[in-house]
Amino acid sequence: MPHWKNLSVIRKVVQLLSFVFLVYGSLIVGFYAADKISGALPALACAYDAKTADYCVLIPLQHQMDHLLGPAIRAGQVGMPVIMPILTTLGTFMILFVLLNKAFCGWICPLGTFQELLGLIGQKLGLKREESLDHKLVERIRPVKWLMLGLLVIFFPLMTGLGLTGHELGDPFCRICPSRIMTNLFNGNMDQLRIDTSTPGYMAWSILADTLFGLILVVGLTTRQPFCRICPLLAMHAMFKKIGLVRLVKNYTSRCDKCGLCAKACPMDIREIHTSQERDILFPDCTLCGRCVEFCPDKGVMAMKYAVIPIKVSDPQYFKHRNKAQKAWEKANLLAWWNNRRAATRSVKA
């Protein structure tokens, strides 16, 4: 199968180009243009990265809760000058979201790309991988993204703005966000990896951030998309998924309950994909990577669409070639090469 027909290869190319733009974008468009883009289309890059051409929508939301809405509520002066900036932030997020829906996570997000790179390295090293997590563990993890959004992005910053908590809780998600460390490291900046000893609160947040980033580095080698499962931006996407133009649909048949290949292919362990009898299968944890469509062996049962235009439709011939390519890809790793080399050496000596 030609690479240009392989949806996963196409996605990897888009991810790479998006990563370069979001992490090094100001070097491409210039710092002035990058600043203007950052104010218009917030995305999961990081404002702490001086070379980025964009930033995460969660950054202005936290700051608006802390520096705008909280003080306004405390002063009893909540009006349009307070509401409009928040609506503008959410509005620009919605523009990006309507156009891309949750495909932003699976195709553009630099942190998502980084985690997939870690998984690729682990696979090529021949490490034993957890292709699917235990169902009960997945169910326990799923609410965490909502807690992250509600507590770290909205509640604690708002409490800080109201004067009820210290400044350490003004932007708590940014304090622990692994993208903040990752994007700066890719720019040769080690400042975000340090322990902040200015106050006990900041020190605790920085230790937690470094620990979380270290866990992602380790766990990401053997487990698919570890941070994506708890990312608050995924929760924001889930709140508005019905209005996005990119859709994931299913034409249920009696065979759908049997093979389960779509659920096995899903990096987010959404097992409901193969049991659901609903047409809309864009579940809250879905990142629209399209792997479930690729690995469905039945013609026309699953499809990824842009509005009504098919992007990819399940097809038995495509599945046959894609599955063969996947097995060959997984078989080729450093451990297998080393074992084959040792076997060949022993054969020659014998």
What are 242-277's pLDDT values in tens digits? Answer: 888 999 999 988 878 778 899 999 999 999 998 888
Is residue 223 helix, strand or coil?
Answer: strand
pLDDT of residue 32: 73
Question: What average pLDDT does this structure show over 204-227?
Answer: 95
CA distances from 314 to 131, 133, 230, 301, 317 (A): 22, 25, 29, 6, 9
pLDDT of residue 334: 83
Report the chain's mean pLDDT, rounded to a whole number.
89
**Alpha helix stretches (DSSP H) within 244-333:** 261-265, 272-275, 291-294, 316-331
The DSSP 8-state label assigned to residue 248 in this structure reads: E
Tokens linked to 64? 């608006």
Is residue 170 helix, strand or coil?
Answer: coil
pLDDT at 55 over 80: no
pLDDT of residue 314: 95
pLDDT at 330 over 80: yes
pLDDT of residue 44: 61
pLDDT band at 36 (very low <50, low <70, confident <90, very high): low
Task: Compute the distance between CA of residue 120 and CA of residue 280 in angstroms, rounded to an integer.
Answer: 30
Question: By the 8 A CB rule, do 291 and 265 touch?
Answer: yes
pLDDT at 106 over 80: yes
pLDDT of residue 300: 92
pLDDT band at 56 (very low <50, low <70, confident <90, very high): confident
Give the amino acid at 99: L
pLDDT at 182 over 90: yes
Question: What average pLDDT does this structure show over 34-61?
Answer: 74
What is the per-residue burial (b if ≥16 Cβ within 10 Å, else e) of 151-171? bbbbbbbbbbbbeebeebbbb
pLDDT of residue 113: 95
pLDDT of residue 38: 63
pLDDT band at 208 (very low <50, low <70, confident <90, very high): very high
pLDDT at 40 over 70: no
pLDDT of residue 41: 59
**Beta-bridge partner residues of 312:** 304
pLDDT of residue 350: 62
From 4-13, 166-175, 290-299, 327-336, the region with the lowest mean pLDDT: 327-336
pLDDT band at 94 (very low <50, low <70, confident <90, very high): confident
Share of the chain above pLDDT 90, in %: 58
CA distances from 91 to 61, 63, 150 (A): 12, 16, 19
